Amino acid sequence: MRDDPTAPAVETAGLTKTFGQTRAVDGLDLVVPRGGVYGLLGPNGAGKTTTVRLLATLLRPDDGRAVVLGHDVVDDAAAVRRELSLTGQFASLDTDLTGRENLVVQARLLGRSRRSAHARADELLAAFGLDEAAGRLVNTYSGGMQRRLDIAASLVRTPRLLFLDEPTTGLDPRSRRHVWDVVRELVDRGTTVLLTTQYLDEADQLADLIGVVSGGRLVATGSPDTLKRSVGGDVLEVRVAAADAVRATESLGLPADAARPPASGAEHDATTVLSLPLTRPVREVLDVLDDAGITLAGFDVRRPTLDEVFLALTDEAVPA
């Protein structure tokens, strides 16, 4: 099959994988467009890793099909492997070789000469801040260093499609940001990145599109903004003195449960927060309160976070 450049990078239909009684991936229909970052989110055990392993030809689907860059993952697995790189959820390193040897082995298998393989290994070691540790056995590396080497190993060749399964778990903040930069650089060069993560801020930072899976199925998909809007619009939070709370609620025509104490000890105890959907202009709300003679302690416009999206979408859909 020829690769059609307008077709999605990944397209699955009814993709299914069961392990004994567990339906790890259960009729998944996923479309990952070309270019950009697609973030796959979902609770533990939702089937993210299984999906990635199916797409990377490491597992055979029990049912349904998956096409990666125009190649069927079952019928044309070899062609799929020519296009993609994978950094799995758990490190896949030769711990009794040195960091450099790990990369050289990859580069040699990808067809580089001895010399060119060493040159490429050194480039990557420098880019990932591992040049000083290059000659040490990987079993002496810290967890974060191993993680970085693992990511480096999947970039020996710049792939057209990169799967990163929780790439930044266990990385310090600087290393995490570095991995984000690496992802952005790859995307600029035209690589499509499929990323799973438990850090919703990471998905927010990187992903152009997000798919939320739960129980092996896709339960929502869209841009981070669309998803946030889907669980509710922007919210106006108004802080007033506790003594004014009832009067304020009434004058704004809000239900009694719109008033709640502030989240933590951050505010003075004597204030109350009123949350109201941002369906009328902020000024109007403030004017109403002003007319009622209520003094504002402060106000905030807040958009739901991806955390709230995540909790709302995956709450009721806990896998059996």
Partner 1 sequence: MTATIPAVRVSVLADPAADTTPSTAWGAVRVFAWRSLLKLRHTPEQAADAILIPFIFTVLFTFLFGGALAGSPREYLQFLLPGTLVMAILLMTVYGGLSLNTDVSRGVLDRFRSLPAWQPAHVVGTLAGDLGRYLVASAIVVTLGLVLGWRPDGGVTGVVAGIGLALVFAYALSWVWAAIGLVARSPQAVSMLSFVLQFPLTFASNAFVDPATMPDWLQPWVEANPVSLLVTAERELFAGTASFGDVAWVLVASAVVVAAFAPLTFHLYRRRTA
Q: Which H or E run contains 307?
A: helix 306-315
Q: Which H or E run contains 273?
A: strand 271-277
- Applying CB under 6 A, does 164 fall inside the site for ligand ATP? no
- Applying CB under 5 A, does 87 fall inside the site for Mg ion? no
- CB 20 to ligand ATP: min, Å: 6
Cα separation, 23 vs 49, whole angstroms: 13
* Binding string, residues 88-107; x marks residues near ligand ATP by CB under 6 A: -x------------------
- CB 49 to ligand ATP: min, Å: 3
Q: What is the 3-state secondary structure (H, E, C) of 256-311?
A: HHHEECCCCCCCCCCEEEEEEECCCCHHHHHHHHHHCCCCEEEEEEECCCHHHHHH
Given 12, 49, 106, 192, the residue binding Mg ion (CB under 5 A)? 49
Of 181, 202, 174, 219, nearest to 47 by C-alpha is: 219
- Applying CB under 6 A, does 22 fall inside the site for ligand ATP? yes
Residue 93 DSSP SS3: coil
Interface positions, 32-51, toward ligand ATP (CB under 6 A): 42, 44-50
Bridge partners of 68? 10, 71
Interface residues with ligand ATP (CB under 6 A) are 19, 22, 24, 42, 44-50, 89
Interface residues with partner 1 (CB under 8 A) are 53, 56-59, 78, 81-82, 84-86, 88, 90-98, 101, 105-106, 108-112, 116, 120, 123-124, 126-130, 132-133, 137, 142, 145, 152-158, 174-175, 178, 181-182, 185-186, 189
